[in-house]
Amino acid sequence: MLDICLLGTGGMMPLPYRWLTSMMARCGGSSLLIDCGEGTQVALKEKGWSPKPIDIICFTHYHADHISGLPGLLLTMGNAERTEPVVLMGPKGLERVVTALRCIAPELPFELRFAELEEGQQQFHIGPYVIDAYRVNHNVLCYGYCISIPRAGRFDMERAKKQSVPMKAWSRLQKGETVEIGGICYTPDMVLGPERKGLKVTYCTDTRPVPVIGEYAKDADLFICEGMYGEDGKEVKAREYKHMTMYEAAQLACKAQPGEMWLTHYSPSLTHPEEYMDKVRKIFPQAKAARDGWTVSLTFEEEEENPTG
């Protein structure tokens, strides 16, 4: 199961009743946060989700509204007596920016490990997560993230037998372990069928609509995307400041066909995002104007009965 919470839906500055855009994922006791603006730790507290198990914090970029809450969050995690290392991931400059911000949070009871992105697209396996970072197009270096929980294939008894895998190894192999018996090494692929559809959430804010976003949003269960403007005539502003209108986001989704799209990162001037949704849903019917604290629990899809057994 993968829990997703969109902690805030604002862009630029935190407002009363609208936190800055940030997303938290929970899976198997490990949490992952994307962006941490001023007030993100309060949004988490309101939601009742603990900051202590946050093992990974991914940053899209280093504009203040996406990272200014980091020192406070780290201190709060320290106060909660976290001692395990935390991985910070983000564009070039990560360690420099975090070190500068830590002048007001110099002492932490846990280690920070830096994963600075160097390529246009990079994949990481951390805990239960497969994290794909992909470069987008903002006025500073900026990345989107695709968070996946892969799902192994079904146990395939025929295949296990054909490869002469001893029965006593089956259970551990099915759980993904490698097993050695009598000098022979058995691997999970020897007893498993093809990988099944996992869970996938794609996230991007602060970018023009570029094709790579669509590639990662393809077949995602949830696509969380910036929809900074909805009013007529704001396309010019979106282009100038390298943001996206709700309609541009919907066009990306229309091509990529994710299960659902949540719009976020609203301009402070956009007080009622729902007003524009009729027009947005004409482009992509599964679009929703998200609100702070929206949550979904994604589960692996039910399987058909295996016709052969």
Catalytic residue among 35, 65, 132, 221: 65
Q: Kindly tell me which residue out of 2, 4, 12, 213 binds a second copy, with binding defined by CB under 8 A.
A: 12
Contact range with a second copy by CB under 8 A, out of 100-108, 109-117, 259-267, 281-289: 100-108
Q: Kindly tell me which residue out of 32, 67, 249, 287 binds a second copy, with binding defined by CB under 8 A.
A: 67
Nearest Cα neighbor of 203 from 251, 243, 261 is: 261
- Specify the residue, 65 or 248, whose C-beta has the smaller distance to a second copy: 65
96 belongs to the binding site for a second copy (CB under 8 A): yes
Nearest Cα neighbor of 242 from 220, 224, 276, 265 is: 265
- Specify the residue, 46 or 275, whose C-beta has the smaller distance to a second copy: 46
Would residue 65 show up in a list of annotated catalytic residues for this protein?
yes
Task: Mark 105-144 with x for binding to a second copy (rule: CB under 8 A) and - for no binding.
Answer: x---------------------------------------
11 belongs to the binding site for a second copy (CB under 8 A): no
Strand order in the sheet with 22-27: 112-116, 86-90, 54-58, 30-34, 22-27, 2-8, 294-298
Helix (H, G, I), strand (E, B) or coil at 205: coil
Pair 200, 147: CB distance under 8 Å: yes
Pair 60, 143: CB distance under 8 Å: yes
Helix (H, G, I), strand (E, B) or coil at 64: helix
Q: Kindly tell me which residue out of 8, 14, 91, 214 binds a second copy, with binding defined by CB under 8 A.
A: 14
Contact range with a second copy by CB under 8 A, out of 94-102, 142-150, 251-259, 290-298: 94-102
Pair 163, 202: CB distance under 8 Å: no
